[in-house]
Structure 1
Amino acid sequence: NSESNRIVVNLEQPQTVAPPQVMQNAPRQNVSTPSFLNESKPKKSGGCFGKILLTLGVLLIVAIVGGGIGGYLWWQSLQKSPAYSLALLVDAARRNDQKTIDQYLDNDAVVDSFVPQVTEKATERYGRGVPTDILNKAKSLTKNITPLVKDRARQEIPTFIKQKAQLVPEVSPWIMAIGIGRVATVKENGDTATLGATLPNQPNRPIEITMKKNGDKWKVIAVKDDALADQIAQKIAEQLQGLGNKKISELGQKAASGNLEEVRKQFENLLPK
């Protein structure tokens, strides 16, 4: 019978498909994970360490560059300082380099600065007990021997500088400049600078040096040293006392100071008989 052999499918109800049955006794298969999935990721601690190294490297480079710039600026400042010019003068005097000495020492200006100092010391040395009015008249006569004072100072000052330069340790000028900056009182006022210090091995002998700016250098234009002024005054007095009238007259004419013999007579006339 054909009707009994027909298969009837109900389209109104959804058909369910039974899942395949797994054999109960079938062996399990191990599914391996791909090797690239098993690779461990970089640890966070390693990344932090790299950042620290990078930061330290950057800081080191900044420190080196900053130190180099700072050192260059410091060196430029030192080279333009009064202390460095004075150190170069001392070094040149120690080597007897007259050309360099002339670059940092205005000898004529220094000599001029010693004239009032020598006059004052001569008054102190030889004017003790002399009445004030006579002393004032004597001071007015000292202008007549000014060329003689300058001549003597011109001889003594270079010798003084060279002698004192030998007492300074043999070090580089820049090291000497640092030392001067530490032991001396340096005051800058525009193009003028004043250095106050004591001489090497003579802590009780203060001196004052005045310098004037000359381009990138500083030049010594005045020196105040009571001991040297007194020494010059004493030598001038000895020089005058040890010469006869004729020699004194010749010396006065040579020094372009007029007749020193007449000046001495005027001094003698001022003194009480």
Structure 2
Amino acid sequence: MEYLEFKITCNQDFTEILIAELAEVGFDSFLETDDGVEAYIQEDIFDREAYDQVILQYHEAAEISVVEGKMPKVNWNEEWEKHYDPISIGKEVYVRASFHATKEDVKYDILINPKMSFGTGHHATTYLMLSHQLEVSHEGKSMIDIGSGTGILAIMAYKLGANHIEAFDIDNWCVENGNENFELNGMNKVKMGHGTIREVNPKGPFDIVMANINKNVLLDEMEIYVSLMKPDANLFLSGFYEHDIPDLQYRAESLGLRLKGQKVKDNWAAIVFERG
């Protein structure tokens, strides 16, 4: 699989907007820089017309310039070792790569060696989802991570005591990387699946359903998520902005869910619904 690389220079106020818009048209990996953002997409799914529409929409206001290229083969462990710093969520969670030292006073130590996968804990949506997880009991429960990326949310569920975990992603890079991260965290019985939720067709039901994707996908797949929930299950959603909450809440409530909690960080949001 070959990746296309787009080095976008833009007004910093538009960086997160461009990330969100490009994610909508198939881009799955991003690196924020001092000048803007580097965006990556699989060559075989790249839609030039959809991409051009996004750039044209913000070109003048964001003062955009782009350098296009093809992603060279690189040693991802070496690259992330240069740029990837561990993060903490309160005093409970410490997310680190294998080349970082352990932290003795932390309750949950999570090892993530990311490749091209989304979800290292650095992005606000992942951080918010992990924060929500700390507030909901996982002990002895079943959990499914939809669009799992690095597998970090599934790993958090395992650390919190979930006894049955399923995870899948549409990207082969994520599946490979997720399985490596599962092994790093002792999850040898969990294997990440490949495909969309309709292709994977998980059976459920689950106590906890999690999806950190984007607004349009969440709205489209919401009914499937609800069908996978036990009567008293929780649904965690992220991958959208704070101003998108009403649309997602309306859709969820129309399917019989009730808003349980919400968190916001850097204009990104994560919400939790419960059934019943």
Q: By the TM > 0.5 criterion, same fold? A: no
Q: Which has the higher strand share?
A: 2
TM-score w.r.t. length of structure 2: 0.20
Tell which has more relative contact order, 1 or 2 (C-alpha 8 A, sep 6+): 1
Q: Which has the higher helix share?
A: 1
Point out the structure with max Rg over C-alpha.
1
